[in-house]
Amino acid sequence: MHARIQAFQLASITLLLYCGTTMSAERTNQLPAPREGDYVSPNFRFKSGETLPELHLHYSTFGAPVRDANGRVNNAVLLLHGTSGSGVQFLAPQFSGVLFGPGQLLDITRYYIILPDNIGHGKSSKPSDGMHAQFPQYDYDDMVRAQHELLEKGLGISHLRLILGTSMGCMHSFVWGETYPDFMDALMPLACQPAQIAGRNRVWRKLVMDAIRDDPDWKNGDYAAEPRVGLEIAAEMFYIAAGSALEMQNKLPTRAATDTADSESVKRFLATHDANDLLYAVNASRNYDPSPQLEKISAPLMFVNSADDFINPPELGIAEREIKRVKNGRFILLPISEQTHGHGTHTWAALWQMYLKELLDNSQH
């Protein structure tokens, strides 16, 4: 029984860390409920040339905007979630409980915290709303442009104190820094690479997409019931990609415990994911590649990965090589320890908050 409980806990934590979709509204760190809103962008045109008559972008906020003598908001912080997740991932106590409280680095009585659900995710417009595979084929450039429009037209914000992004949000942070270099005081990308997705990273994503498309029940996206086999394969791939080999071995030392954890993670994944939404979200990374324009990033940038990250393994050396081209950039590699959580280390703020403090201190005006 103890092994089963332990396995279930690891499965739950792993999915929460990567996807951010298993988090309930209940918060253990006594935060007030965030304010929620929706911005509608009319006739949003995607890079593919497709359009939506109305693109709905859902968001949550903590705190209140503070304006300087010129009327510009100077305390806004944008937090960007990972693939198949939503802004709710940042309500996890290992993140919000470390950063959002009184006197903490992103104290919500001091900062205006903005948590968008990006295109295709959460409560924003997505394939499962009804268009299925007729939904426009969005990419990261579309997602960042929509975030920018939400800020400027929806919330009246023309400048950010900080952009912090995890996983997919990490990659969005690099796109932000190149596309809108003067829009933010500081950037903190967590758990990604500033280069196109290739090698093993591309292969596991392709496996997820192929599993969904090859499932006969997918029916070219026009299914009445979820293509279960494809989603089960996707769930197991996410479980592997999100986890830490050391942590999983320590917490799941037997075959029985491992099989139980895998089974529980698949159940939870299937309960919270739609096949088309997942396919689109993974495919959105297809043309991501900030490497040709890294010199455009001018804001101070603190880039953090963990050495036990399956998706961004340190032996590639990409981060160390490319950060040299970011004029105010610094790269930190967190060593493997009993405290790191693989790719999901990005959500455990206690492990990297000292670098966030350094970034905030060094980017004050």
The CATH number of residue 52's host domain is: 3.40.50.1820
d(CA 95, CA 352): 11
Q: What is the pLDDT of residues 209-227, one digit of tens each?
A: 999 999 999 999 999 999 9
User: Does 151 score more than 60 pLDDT?
Assistant: yes
Answer left, alpha or beta for residue 96, where phi above 0 means left and psi between -120 and 50 means alpha.
alpha
The residue segments making up the domain with residue 168 are: 28-200+283-362
Tokens of residue 178, six digits: 């190149």
User: Does 7 score more than 80 pLDDT?
Assistant: no
Average of pLDDT values for 102-120? Answer: 98
Average of pLDDT values for 254-260? Answer: 97
Q: Is 218 within the bounds of a domain?
A: no
What percentage of the chain has pLDDT greater than the value 90?
90
Q: Is 45 within the bounds of a domain?
A: yes
Q: Is 3 within the bounds of a domain?
A: no
Cβ count near 100 (within 10 Å): 25
Q: Is 212 within the bounds of a domain?
A: no
Looking at residue 29, what is its pLDDT?
A: 53
pLDDT band at 18 (very low <50, low <70, confident <90, very high): very low
Rounded to two decimals, the pTM is 0.92
Amino acid identity of 24? S
pLDDT band at 21 (very low <50, low <70, confident <90, very high): very low
pLDDT band at 199 (very low <50, low <70, confident <90, very high): very high
Q: Is 141 within the bounds of a domain?
A: yes
The domain total for the chain is 1
Q: Is 322 within the bounds of a domain?
A: yes
Q: Is 77 within the bounds of a domain?
A: yes
Looking at residue 364, what is its pLDDT?
A: 87
Distances in whole angstroms, Cα of residue 178 to Cα of each of 73, 172, 237, 355: 22, 10, 31, 22
pLDDT band at 30 (very low <50, low <70, confident <90, very high): confident
Q: Is 170 within the bounds of a domain?
A: yes
